[in-house]
Amino acid sequence: MNEVFKALADTSRRRLLDSLNTRNGQTLRELCTGLDMTRQSVSKHLAVLEAADLVTTVRRGREKLHYLNAAPINAIADRWMSRYDRQRARALADLQTALEQTPMAMNDFIYTTYIKTTPERLWQALTDPGFTRRYWGVAFETDWKPGSTITWHEEGTTTADPEQVVLEAEPGRRLSYTWHTFTPEWAASVGVDEETRAMLLAEPRSKVTFEIEPAGETVKLTVVHEAGDVLLGMSRHGWPAIMSGVKTLLETGEPLPAPAG
């Protein structure tokens, strides 16, 4: 956590984070242009931010895109914000998202964490319903082959759709699939009103990608959720909880305790 505070102490690095907060997924060239900083300066500051896990990168073809990583900030919130009114803080953040949203836009949510496990074990945790039910409350019914459909079992409901499919599946390395279908039954089970469901259906179908990389005695897990603003506004707090859940389950053998209240 000391590296996080050290990284945030510099004005230029905070400007870089502000730039990514405004528009995530920028290249080095775009960050240099937007902030009127030299390439060398931006590269050095990005290296510090990456070392603190405040910024994570994803390769798209020849380009290297930079994203804010919520994990360290979430850790700070877990340590101190719980002493205050976390729910009100989240409500204000959600309100800001709702006021700024453009329904048909597509954005990326990026989250990186490190888990003391093996790539094979992590793959099992992401695909085996015996695992996913314990930390996610969801079970996937599929053979995990590209092009195969996925049936979701969640909150006592089942959703299936021809476009709800596996996109990529490289065991121990990469998993990608389209996000689930927002049926009336699903909405009722999770408390989503019909107006919100209509907004979700108006957005392009989203997808989630899990990238798995060995990192010494740990495994680096990066989740990339490409979705419209409405869905991202709803799931931005869910992903840290899911990733914390799988990390805790794999490292301790026990799921996270249910939230109080």
Q: Would you write out the chain's pLDDT as a tens digit for each of its 261 residues?
A: 678 888 888 888 888 888 888 888 888 988 988 777 888 989 999 999 988 888 888 877 788 888 888 677 666 665 655 444 444 444 444 444 443 444 434 578 888 889 999 999 999 999 999 999 999 999 999 999 999 999 999 988 999 999 999 999 999 999 999 988 999 999 998 889 999 999 999 999 999 999 999 999 999 999 999 999 899 888 877 888 899 899 999 999 988 776 544
Separation between Cα atoms, residue 235 and residue 111, nearest integer Å: 12
> What are the extents of the domains in the chain?
2-69, 103-252
Which of 220, 152, 217, 214 lies closest to 180, judged by CA? 152
* CATH of segment(s) 2-69: 1.10.10.10
Answer CATH for 103-252 from 2.130.10.10, 3.30.530.20, 3.40.50.620, 3.30.420.40: 3.30.530.20
Tokens encoding 247? 């990390």
Three-state SS for 131-166 is HHHHHCCEEEECCCCCCCECEEEECCEEECCCCCEE
pTM over the 0.85 mark:
no
